[in-house]
Structure 1
Protein backbone atom coordinates (compact mmCIF):
# COMPACT_ATOMS: atom_id res chain seq x y z
CA UNK A 1 0.00 0.00 0.00
CA UNK A 2 1.36 3.43 -0.86
CA UNK A 3 0.29 6.98 -0.17
CA UNK A 4 1.09 9.86 -2.45
CA UNK A 5 1.55 13.32 -0.92
CA UNK A 6 -0.49 16.05 -2.53
CA UNK A 7 1.33 19.11 -3.77
CA UNK A 8 0.23 22.57 -2.67
CA UNK A 9 -1.90 23.74 0.21
CA UNK A 10 -4.56 21.54 1.77
CA UNK A 11 -8.16 22.28 0.87
CA UNK A 12 -9.69 24.69 3.38
CA UNK A 13 -13.42 25.05 3.77
CA UNK A 14 -13.71 28.82 4.00
CA UNK A 15 -17.05 30.48 4.58
CA UNK A 16 -17.65 33.47 2.36
CA UNK A 17 -19.87 36.08 4.02
CA UNK A 18 -23.02 37.25 2.29
CA UNK A 19 -22.81 40.66 0.62
CA UNK A 20 -25.58 43.26 0.50
CA UNK A 21 -24.87 46.08 -1.95
CA UNK A 22 -26.36 49.42 -0.92
CA UNK A 23 -26.53 51.96 -3.73
CA UNK A 24 -27.95 55.41 -4.22
CA UNK A 25 -29.72 57.38 -1.57
CA UNK A 26 -31.95 54.98 0.34
CA UNK A 27 -35.43 56.20 1.28
CA UNK A 28 -37.14 55.47 4.58
CA UNK A 29 -39.61 53.20 2.77
CA UNK A 30 -36.75 50.94 1.60
CA UNK A 31 -35.25 50.42 5.09
CA UNK A 32 -37.64 47.64 6.26
CA UNK A 33 -36.97 45.66 3.07
CA UNK A 34 -33.20 45.99 3.54
CA UNK A 35 -33.57 44.84 7.16
CA UNK A 36 -35.46 41.80 5.87
CA UNK A 37 -32.62 41.18 3.40
CA UNK A 38 -30.05 41.22 6.23
CA UNK A 39 -32.21 38.90 8.32
CA UNK A 40 -32.55 36.52 5.37
CA UNK A 41 -28.82 36.46 4.63
CA UNK A 42 -27.80 35.49 8.18
CA UNK A 43 -29.23 31.98 8.74
CA UNK A 44 -26.84 29.17 7.98
CA UNK A 45 -23.77 31.40 7.76
CA UNK A 46 -20.74 30.16 9.64
CA UNK A 47 -19.51 33.47 10.97
CA UNK A 48 -22.94 35.18 11.00
CA UNK A 49 -21.74 38.30 9.17
CA UNK A 50 -23.35 40.23 6.34
CA UNK A 51 -20.97 42.50 4.45
CA UNK A 52 -22.67 45.76 3.44
CA UNK A 53 -21.01 47.32 0.42
CA UNK A 54 -21.61 51.03 1.04
CA UNK A 55 -19.32 52.39 -1.69
CA UNK A 56 -22.28 53.55 -3.78
CA UNK A 57 -24.51 54.65 -0.91
CA UNK A 58 -24.24 58.31 -1.80
CA UNK A 59 -23.31 61.31 0.28
CA UNK A 60 -22.85 60.50 3.96
CA UNK A 61 -25.51 61.94 6.19
CA UNK A 62 -27.85 61.09 9.02
CA UNK A 63 -30.07 59.03 6.69
CA UNK A 64 -27.11 56.71 5.98
CA UNK A 65 -26.28 56.54 9.68
CA UNK A 66 -29.90 55.68 10.50
CA UNK A 67 -29.93 52.95 7.83
CA UNK A 68 -26.69 51.37 9.07
CA UNK A 69 -27.82 51.55 12.69
CA UNK A 70 -31.06 49.74 11.80
CA UNK A 71 -29.20 47.10 9.76
CA UNK A 72 -26.75 46.51 12.63
CA UNK A 73 -29.61 46.24 15.14
CA UNK A 74 -31.45 43.78 12.88
CA UNK A 75 -28.31 41.65 12.49
CA UNK A 76 -27.61 41.69 16.24
CA UNK A 77 -31.17 40.60 17.03
CA UNK A 78 -30.70 37.70 14.59
CA UNK A 79 -27.43 36.68 16.26
CA UNK A 80 -25.05 38.24 13.76
CA UNK A 81 -23.52 41.54 12.74
CA UNK A 82 -22.77 43.64 9.70
CA UNK A 83 -19.39 44.65 8.33
CA UNK A 84 -18.91 47.64 6.05
CA UNK A 85 -17.08 47.42 2.74
CA UNK A 86 -15.64 50.53 1.05
CA UNK A 87 -17.10 53.21 3.37
CA UNK A 88 -16.44 56.85 2.55
CA UNK A 89 -14.03 58.43 5.09
CA UNK A 90 -16.68 61.04 5.90
CA UNK A 91 -19.20 58.27 6.66
CA UNK A 92 -16.70 56.55 8.96
CA UNK A 93 -16.10 59.83 10.79
CA UNK A 94 -19.84 60.41 11.12
CA UNK A 95 -20.39 56.90 12.50
CA UNK A 96 -17.64 57.46 15.09
CA UNK A 97 -19.10 60.87 15.94
CA UNK A 98 -22.54 59.43 16.74
CA UNK A 99 -20.99 56.50 18.65
CA UNK A 100 -21.77 53.63 16.26
CA UNK A 101 -19.01 51.02 16.26
CA UNK A 102 -19.60 49.04 13.10
CA UNK A 103 -16.77 46.85 11.92
CA UNK A 104 -15.10 47.79 8.63
CA UNK A 105 -13.81 45.10 6.30
CA UNK A 106 -10.03 44.72 6.51
CA UNK A 107 -9.74 46.24 9.98
CA UNK A 108 -9.38 44.52 13.32
CA UNK A 109 -12.57 44.43 15.33
CA UNK A 110 -12.72 47.08 18.03
CA UNK A 111 -13.76 45.91 21.44
CA UNK A 112 -14.75 48.04 24.37
CA UNK A 113 -12.38 47.94 27.34
CA UNK A 114 -13.53 46.01 30.39
CA UNK A 115 -15.30 48.19 32.93
CA UNK A 116 -13.59 48.93 36.22
CA UNK A 117 -10.19 47.61 35.17
CA UNK A 118 -7.38 50.02 35.83
CA UNK A 119 -3.73 49.25 36.11
CA UNK A 120 -1.68 51.33 38.50
CA UNK A 121 2.04 51.32 38.90
CA UNK A 122 3.68 52.67 42.02
CA UNK A 123 6.84 54.71 41.61
CA UNK A 124 9.88 52.49 41.95
CA UNK A 125 8.07 49.27 40.98
CA UNK A 126 9.70 47.20 38.24
CA UNK A 127 7.81 46.98 34.96
CA UNK A 128 6.05 43.67 34.51
Structure 2
Protein backbone atom coordinates (compact mmCIF):
# COMPACT_ATOMS: atom_id res chain seq x y z
CA UNK A 1 0.00 0.00 0.00
CA UNK A 2 1.33 3.44 -0.98
CA UNK A 3 1.64 5.54 2.18
CA UNK A 4 3.15 8.54 0.37
CA UNK A 5 -0.34 9.73 -0.54
CA UNK A 6 -2.91 10.63 2.13
CA UNK A 7 -5.74 8.25 2.85
CA UNK A 8 -8.95 10.08 1.94
CA UNK A 9 -12.16 9.23 3.75
CA UNK A 10 -15.56 10.90 3.41
CA UNK A 11 -18.10 11.34 6.15
CA UNK A 12 -21.66 10.92 4.82
CA UNK A 13 -24.41 13.51 5.32
CA UNK A 14 -25.96 11.58 8.20
CA UNK A 15 -23.27 9.26 9.59
CA UNK A 16 -24.64 6.22 11.40
CA UNK A 17 -22.89 4.14 14.04
CA UNK A 18 -22.19 1.59 11.32
CA UNK A 19 -20.61 4.28 9.10
CA UNK A 20 -18.36 5.39 11.95
CA UNK A 21 -17.45 1.82 12.86
CA UNK A 22 -16.53 1.12 9.21
CA UNK A 23 -14.39 4.26 8.96
CA UNK A 24 -12.68 3.56 12.30
CA UNK A 25 -11.97 -0.01 11.16
CA UNK A 26 -10.52 1.36 7.93
CA UNK A 27 -8.21 3.62 9.93
CA UNK A 28 -7.19 0.77 12.22
CA UNK A 29 -6.30 -1.44 9.25
CA UNK A 30 -4.26 1.17 7.38
CA UNK A 31 -0.56 1.77 8.02
CA UNK A 32 0.20 5.07 9.77
CA UNK A 33 -0.07 7.99 7.38
CA UNK A 34 -1.75 11.29 6.75
CA UNK A 35 -5.54 11.08 6.59
CA UNK A 36 -7.83 13.63 4.98
CA UNK A 37 -11.45 13.42 6.10
CA UNK A 38 -13.88 15.23 3.83
CA UNK A 39 -16.78 16.53 5.94
CA UNK A 40 -18.53 18.93 3.56
CA UNK A 41 -21.44 16.49 3.12
CA UNK A 42 -22.42 16.66 6.80
CA UNK A 43 -26.07 17.73 6.78
CA UNK A 44 -26.20 19.41 10.16
CA UNK A 45 -23.97 21.09 12.68
CA UNK A 46 -25.00 19.29 15.84
CA UNK A 47 -23.48 17.32 18.67
CA UNK A 48 -23.81 14.10 16.67
CA UNK A 49 -21.47 15.61 14.05
CA UNK A 50 -19.03 16.70 16.77
CA UNK A 51 -19.15 13.18 18.25
CA UNK A 52 -18.43 11.66 14.82
CA UNK A 53 -15.40 13.93 14.31
CA UNK A 54 -14.09 13.19 17.79
CA UNK A 55 -14.42 9.43 17.26
CA UNK A 56 -12.56 9.63 13.96
CA UNK A 57 -9.84 11.78 15.52
CA UNK A 58 -9.40 9.23 18.33
CA UNK A 59 -9.35 6.27 15.93
CA UNK A 60 -6.78 8.04 13.74
CA UNK A 61 -4.60 8.84 16.74
CA UNK A 62 -4.74 5.26 17.97
CA UNK A 63 -3.62 4.08 14.53
CA UNK A 64 -0.69 6.50 14.42
CA UNK A 65 -2.31 8.68 11.75
CA UNK A 66 -2.33 12.44 11.35
CA UNK A 67 -5.88 13.43 10.43
CA UNK A 68 -7.19 16.68 9.07
CA UNK A 69 -10.79 17.56 8.40
CA UNK A 70 -11.65 19.48 5.25
CA UNK A 71 -14.83 21.16 4.11
CA UNK A 72 -16.33 22.19 7.45
CA UNK A 73 -19.31 24.50 7.03
CA UNK A 74 -19.52 27.71 9.08
CA UNK A 75 -22.18 26.31 11.42
CA UNK A 76 -20.02 23.35 12.38
CA UNK A 77 -17.00 25.58 12.87
CA UNK A 78 -19.06 27.83 15.15
CA UNK A 79 -20.27 24.85 17.19
CA UNK A 80 -16.70 23.58 17.59
CA UNK A 81 -15.56 27.02 18.75
CA UNK A 82 -18.47 27.21 21.18
CA UNK A 83 -17.68 23.76 22.57
CA UNK A 84 -13.95 24.50 22.79
CA UNK A 85 -13.05 21.67 20.41
CA UNK A 86 -11.94 23.61 17.35
CA UNK A 87 -8.24 23.30 18.20
CA UNK A 88 -8.52 19.72 19.43
CA UNK A 89 -10.10 18.57 16.19
CA UNK A 90 -7.80 20.67 14.05
CA UNK A 91 -10.42 22.77 12.31
TM-score, structure 1 as length reference: 0.59
Matched, 1:64 2:53: no
- For the pair shown, the structure with the greater C-alpha radius of gyration is 1
4+ residue segments displaced more than 3 Å: none
Q: How many pairs align?
A: 86
Quote the residue 1:16 is aligned against: 5
Contact 1:20–1:38 (CA<8 Å) still a contact in 2?
Answer: no
Give, in angstroms, the shift of residue 102 of structure 1. 1.9
Give, in angstroms, the shift of residue 66 of structure 1. 0.4
Q: Which of 22, 43, 64 is the equivalent residue of 1:79?
A: 64
Structure 1 gap ranges (5+):
1-14, 105-128
Which whole-Å CA distance do the structure 2 matches of 1:28 and 1:21 have between them? Answer: 15
Which deviates more, 25-34 or 79-88? 25-34
TM-score, structure 2 as length reference: 0.80
Which deviates more, 25-34 or 51-60? 25-34
Q: Which has the higher contact order (CA 8 A, sep 6+)?
A: 2
Give, in angstroms, the shift of residue 99 of structure 1. 2.5
Alpha-carbon RMSD = 1.7
Quote the residue 1:102 is aligned against: 89
